[in-house]
Amino acid sequence: MALTAHDRGSQENGAGLQPGTLWSRPFAAVGKAVIAWIDNLGASAIFFILALIKIFRYDQLSKGMQQLYYIGARSTAIIILVGLFTGMVLGLQSYYALVKFGAQGAVGTLVALSLVRELGPVLTAIMITARAGSAITAEVGILRISEQIDALHTMRIDPLAYLISPRITASIIGFPVLTAVFDLVGIMGGYISGVLLLGVNAGTYFHRVQASLEMKDITEGFIKALVFSVIVSSVCCFHGYFAHMRTDSHGAKAVGLSTTSAVVTSCVLILVADYVVTSLLI
């Protein structure tokens, strides 16, 4: 791997250790990691913008639909499963918390608000990251290390337009739709545990759901889903696309590490962005 100017500087300076170097090393390491992280963040933002511009090309529709099938449609089953059990757990927990105050009728409110505002967008994004995001990084990474992306260049096919833009389109469409599915199924999960298993009145449950949810909550949930779709698609595509640039490994190992990095970074950024968006919209 090529040495950067920074590395060369380190080699030149490393010959004579200065007093205090030992103390400053941890700070230098942290600083270097932060700079690298910010550098990557900037690069992935540019990467995302370049790919985003290309989603409006005429030939993107069919490719976007194909990716929507892989990223969206094929994630539906896992989203339904996770949404159902999340709603059921929420119903269960909220019932036993509220019953102490004789307020078990508010189970519907708690389930609906938790799901639509927070858990729906966050858990949907994390599940798509685990299922489709990792696959995107691995697939694009393998295309990179086996020179298939270089082959696209040599055939005058724009790799960003061919590989990345359709995945971004699919994410932008797929995340909000799957979040809606998650919310809906989660509310039904809350109904199963709260109403069918624990005896909360069905009319009360649905009345509370309807009464407590405002359009603002739904909009907030969709805004989060959109933000997460941008984060997950750009981070996962970026890590795969530049898998060959890793300095810590090469080949298949680099793809493996890139996939891990993409999933971890996406999940962390989802939670950070969740806080930021919530604090801005609340």
Partner 1 sequence: MDTPLIEFRDVTKRFGAITILERINLKIYEGQITTIIGLSGGGKTVLLKHMIGLLKPDTGTILFRGEPIAKMKKAQADASLARMSFMFQDNALFDSMTVRENIALPLKETTNLKKAEIDKQVMARIEQTELVDAAEKFPSELSGGMQKRAALARALVTDPQIILFDEPTAGQDPVRKNAILSMIAQSQRKFGFTAVLVSHEIPDVYFISNRILALYNREIVFQGTPEELENFDHPFKDEVLHSMEGLQEELSGLHSKRQFKVLYHSQMKHRARGETYTVAVFSLDSLESIIAILGHEAAQEAIRSMGSYIDKHFGAIGGFSTRHHTNEFVTVLPYSELDEARDILKEFIEDFREHGIRDIWAGASRRAAPGECAEFTVLAGLAQGQPIADIDAVIASAESQLKEISRMQCPAGG
- Under rule CB under 8 A, residue 153 binds partner 1: yes
Contact characters 43-62, partner 1, x per CB under 8 A:
----------------x---
The 3-state DSSP class for residue 3 equals coil
Q: Which residue from 147, 202, 252, 278 is in contact with partner 1, where contact means CB under 8 A?
A: 147
Please, are residues 240 and 137 in contact by the beta-carbon 8 Å criterion? yes
281 makes contact with partner 1 (CB under 8 A): no
Whichever of 3 and 17 has its CB closer to partner 1, that residue is 3
> Tokens in use for 12?
């030149």
Q: Per rule CB under 8 A, is residue 245 in the interface with partner 1?
A: no
Interface with partner 1 includes 279 (CB under 8 A)? no
DSSP conformational letter for 247: S
Tokens 């030939």, residue?
59
Stretch that binds partner 1, among 98-106, 152-160, 166-174, 262-270 (CB under 8 A): 152-160
Of 5 and 215, nearer to partner 1 (C-beta) is: 5
Q: Which two tokens stand for residue 220?
A: 């907030």
Tokens read off for 241: 């696309």
Q: Is 151 in the site for partner 1 (CB under 8 A)?
A: yes
Out of 34, 150, 214, 247, the only residue in the binding site for partner 1 (CB under 8 A) is: 150
Binding part of the chain for partner 1, among 32-40, 96-104, 142-150, 247-255 by CB under 8 A, reads 142-150
- Closest approach of Cβ 154 to partner 1, in Å? 4
Residue 155 in the binding site for partner 1 (CB under 8 A): yes
The CA angle 192-209-180, to the nearest 5 degrees, is 80
Structure tokens at 226: 């959109």
Considering only CA atoms, give the Rg of the chain: 23
Give the DSSP letter string of 198-230. Answer: T---HHHHHHHHHHH--HHHHHHHHHHHHHHHH
Q: Could you say whether residue 211 binds partner 1 (CB under 8 A)? A: no
> From CA 167, how far away is CA 63, in angstroms rounded?
8
Taking Cα atoms as reference points, which of 100, 103, 45 lies closest to residue 235? 45
Q: Which is nearer to partner 1, 3 or 30 (CB)?
A: 3
Q: Which two tokens stand for residue 118?
A: 């927070």
Q: How far apart are CA 13 and CA 8, in angstroms?
A: 9
Q: Taking a C-beta distance cutoff of 8 angstroms, is the pair 267, 249 a contact?
A: no
The piece of 1-9, 171-179, 206-214, 228-236 that touches partner 1 (CB under 8 A) is 1-9
Q: Which amino acid is at 181?
A: V
φ and ψ at 23, to 5 degrees?
A: -70, -35
- Residues 7-46 as x/- pattern, contact with partner 1 by CB under 8 A: xx--------------------------------------
Among 18, 19, 154, 275, binds partner 1 (CB under 8 A): 154
Minimum distance from CB of 11 to partner 1 (Å)?
A: 9
Confirm or reject binding of residue 3 to partner 1 (CB under 8 A). yes
146 contacts partner 1 (rule: CB under 8 A):
yes
**CA 259 – CA 141 distance, rounded (Å):** 8
Contacting range for partner 1; rule: CB under 8 A; set: 39-47, 130-138, 139-147, 243-251: 139-147
Q: Which residues bind partner 1 (CB under 8 A)?
A: 1-4, 7-8, 59, 143, 146-148, 150-151, 153-157, 162
